Structure 1
Amino acid sequence: MALNKSKGNMYEFVTHTWNTVKGECFHGCSYCYMQRWGQLKAIRFDEKELKTDLGNGNFIFVGSSNDMWAQNIPEEWIKKTLDHCSKYDNSYMFQTKNPQNIRRELIPNSSVCVTLETNRHYPEIMRNCPTPEQRIEQMKLIKHPLYVTIEPMMDFDLPVLVEMLKSCEPLQVNIGADSGRNGLPEPPKEKVLQLIDELQKFTTIHNKVNLKRILK
């Protein structure tokens, strides 16, 4: 199968995406774009993806359409995915909302990105996800280069969120808004700018294109 080129509201530093785990995500977040695309089929491992030539010299986002580190993902699926990645000389990013399951030795040139929409827990929106506090505690134990993505950004408590992020020492924090206009509780522009100012004191900030809507 062909390797997918990165497009849309993806990370600018990512060149391609690749997905072995497909179907309904365990976390069930209310804002998930995959739900709008009608991807709510039973979770499955796509064996055909193991025939994909991942090339060399790429930066591949593995698992862009599902969380392959969620609680319901069999260990065998994760092992098959990592084994295939190890055959090629690329950089890989693995993103999750369940960092507890990613506390392991990954293949060389791997980085971990954890989604943290806010410091607050919105159970009706986050549904089966670990709470932000739980994610932060597990992020501190990750031994690979760590990124954090605050997307879709929801209203937060500035000093609390800043201290949470500082405690896990991310290389970069990516900030994005709700592209799907799902009516989420969003912070005002002034508060977002304050957060960016504070985070820039200890990490690199990458504002995703969709954040422009809030920063107008």
Structure 2
Amino acid sequence: MNTLRRKWLRYFAVLLMGSVAVWGVYTVTRPPDVVVVRLGEPYEKVRLQSRSTLPVATDENSIDLRVARPASLRFSDPEHGFVTPVARLLSIYTSQHGDVSIVTLSPQTQTLPLAEAMAIALDLQQQLGRRGWHPIRSSGFAPISNTPAMVERIRRGDDPHSVWQVAGKYQVTLDIRRFVHENRPVDERYLVTLELSGPPLTEIQPEK
């Protein structure tokens, strides 16, 4: 009986170690979550076509629908689409008819040093530029740039941001802001935020 029990214990241990190994490989190789969205689509369509933890919409949460696990955003417009890094904070807002109207996210999984946050913002702006987006009101909302003046504004907490539009259909607002932890006030950590929306768009005014 003891011999049989020992055999079962060895078998169970091998099975357990094998399961842990398989789970470890899965967590490393599993494709990251992604939210695939176009503005104006029904939210339920977005939820079903995405590989994510977006919740089912209910009367209680139908305005602000958030992922529970980090996911990247793929804006799937065939002409003007772009992809973000994985975001821990990603929310979808819907209209009264249940269609996607706004997406907000911070395309990172933790606060970052300024150089890393800057790299994310610059890459997103480059994607927008390649897909036909144009910055508007550049005199007041200049595109984010890795220049001494812009870096100083960001570090000072001015929250500089740029506004991009395309084809009179979509708008992206992008910014970098300093995140001050109450227990580490001298740490320099930063958050990039992106908001994607449709009409009504910010009015384009003539540059002076």
TM-score, L = length of structure 2: 0.25
Between Structure 1 and Structure 2, whose CA radius of gyration is higher? 2
Q: Which has the higher strand share?
A: 2
